[in-house]
Amino acid sequence: MYKLVASIVVAAPREAVFAAYCDPANWTAALPGLVTLKMLNDPPFGLGTRWRQRRRMLWMSDESEAEVTVFDPPERIEYRIDHPKLAADGAVFHMAEHFAAEGGATRWSVGVSLQMPKPVPGFIEWMMRAPLGWGARRDLRAFKRFIERQQ
C-alpha cells in the first residue's frame, strides 16, 4: 500500500505532464537534486524501463537503480527502487506517480511503499519516509516550474 508523500497541481494537461515525466532527458534539466542519470535500456520509456541514478538529498548523495513495474499512460507509473542499504536489510521500496486531470490542469501525486522484513515502530517508519517526502516535494516543485515554462 502506498502512502502519499507529495502532491502538486501543474498548469498543463495531464497528457503533457505525463509525457514530460516520461522523457528522461527532462529529468536532468528539471531536477536539481539529480546528480547523475544512466539509462540501462533503450527508449521508449515504459514498462521495464530501468535506470541508475545518483541523487543529492540534504547533505549527502545516494545511488540507486529503478525499474518501471506499472505503466498506465497518462494516469500512473509505479517503479521499484533498488537501494543497496535497504536491500541489505531485506526491505523493498516502491514509488508511484499518479496524474489526475483537474480542469485544464493536472494533480500530480507521489506515494511510497516501504516494506520491511519485520514491523518497525511508527517513529522509525516516519524517520525513513520524511526525507522521501521532502525530496518528492522538491522534485514536484522543480518539475512544475519546468513543465509550466514549456507551455
> Per residue in 78-119, pLDDT tens?
999 998 877 777 888 899 999 999 999 999 999 998 887 877
- pTM, full prediction: 0.89
Give the tens place of pLDDT for each residue, 9-31.
999 999 999 999 999 999 999 99
Distances (CA, A) of 141 to 127, 137, 146: 22, 6, 9
Domains of the chain: 3-150 (3.30.530.20)
CB 32 within 8 A of CB 142: yes
